[in-house]
Amino acid sequence: MASNVIILFVYILTFLIGLPTNVLSLCAFAIKVHTKPMPTDILLLNLTVSDLLFLIVLPLKMHEAASGMEWLLPYFLCPITAFFFFSTIYTSSLLLMAVSVDRYLGVAFPIRYRLLQRPLYAGIASVVIWVSTSSRIMTA
């Protein structure tokens, strides 16, 4: 019972901090990508979208935690919630990895990175990450 309260507290805190900050990030990255797209900005925009999808289903997980970890909502919401909850965790992790790789390449190989840097590559990497995590969750 105490663990359910802790889980609920963490979910609420995550939602209250995460939603406004990610909406603000979405606005900032959308403007930045629209004016002058850089690969890191595209990856961070996708990371923000992934985090917002996670935050959208978090109230359903809050309800579950408040109900003693029993699913009392309509059944069709359970697999949808589980899909978005877990796939966005994996998507966010992989997008953070892609941002780290992008930054590493920029530091380790600055001249070559500048010459080969294209926003299209970040877009392709984002699509591959979204598709691979979604298909992996659906087949699990």
Tell me the CATH number at 74. 1.20.1070.10
What pLDDT shows up at residue 136?
A: 79
What pLDDT shows up at residue 140?
A: 64
Low-confidence ranges of the chain (pLDDT < 70): 140
Residues 85-104 have pLDDT tens digits of 999 999 999 999 999 999 99
For residue 19, give its domain range: 2-139
pTM of the model: 0.91
- Give the chain's domain count: 1
**In the structure encoding, which two tokens stand for residue 28, read together?**
């900032």
